A and B are shown apart, each in its own frame.
Chain A
């Protein structure tokens, strides 16, 4: 079974630029999560989708971050414009309906200069 795929793996941008990350969850997984992990900290939930609907985006900085999950499968997370403090690893995870274990992708490491 293929795992959660993310791209790109690394991205370096200058502040005020925009960037987009892509996630392909495990086939059939209804729930998809985006987390932000700042160096030395645990992952923090940004947004949670159930199929293509948003369940929780309370910690998503909506003035600069946006996310979508078209057709309930792949998802993209966008930052526009980026700030220095957005430098972090962005992790995508998915979970099957009724399950209790999330499966994580390798993450995208973002550096904002």
Chain B
């Protein structure tokens, strides 16, 4: 059974810092890995999707990497801003079109 773990559970940093969020998964048989953002009271927004054959994906100040053999992914946020404050969720996409989520990292960027 696939298990996805995110570390840390919560993170608070001053504005402008670069930061890294971590995600690990137990079963490397995945189609892709996605990072989502969740704002309070709102649904999930997909940030980045990395195919199992890819090593990384970039979108603006966000960069996600994937090491399928070791079961790890990282989300790098450059020059953090208060608007980046949210919960970030990692999810792996497996057979039968299923997503398995981690528990999330709650990020706070302090002005």
A100–B44 contact, CB under 8 A?
Answer: no
CB distance from A6 to the nearest CB of B (A): 8
Is A112 in contact with chain B by the CB < 8 A criterion?
A: no
Is A18 in contact with chain B by the CB < 8 A criterion?
A: no
Q: Interface size for chain B: under 10, 10 to 19, 20 to 34, or 35 or more residues?
A: 20 to 34
Is A102 in contact with chain B by the CB < 8 A criterion?
A: yes
Set B42, B45, B49: member contacting A100, Cβ < 8 A: B49
- Interface class of chain A by DSSP: strand
- Binding-face segment, B13-21, B59-67, B68-76, B95-103: B95-103
A104–B43 contact, CB under 8 A?
Answer: yes
B31–A41 contact, CB under 8 A?
Answer: no
- Interface class of chain B by DSSP: strand
B97–A42 contact, CB under 8 A?
Answer: no
CB distance from A27 to the nearest CB of B (A): 17
Set A41, A45, A48, A104: member contacting B44, Cβ < 8 A: A104
When C-beta atoms are compared, the residue in chain A nearest to B43 turns out to be A104
A56 CA / B43 CA spacing, docked (Å): 22
Is B34 in contact with chain A by the CB < 8 A criterion?
A: yes
A42–B42 contact, CB under 8 A?
Answer: no
Complex contacts, A42 vs chain B, CB 8 Å: 4, 6, 89, 91, 101-104
Set B4, B34, B101, B104: member contacting A101, Cβ < 8 A: B34
A91 CA / B91 CA spacing, docked (Å): 15
Complex contacts, A101 vs chain B, CB 8 Å: 34, 46, 49
- Contact A106-B43, Cβ < 8 Å, known A95-B97, A100-B31, A101-B34: yes
13 contacts between A and B (CB under 8 A): A31-B97, A41-B104, A42-B104, A44-B101, A45-B100, A55-B97, A56-B98, A100-B31, A102-B99, A104-B43, A106-B43, A107-B42, A109-B41
Which B residues lie at the A interface, using CB under 8 A? 4, 6, 9, 31-32, 34, 41-46, 49, 89, 91, 93, 96-104
- For the complex of A and B, list the 3 residue pairs with the smallest distance between their C-beta atoms, beginning with the closest: A42-B101, A104-B43, A104-B44
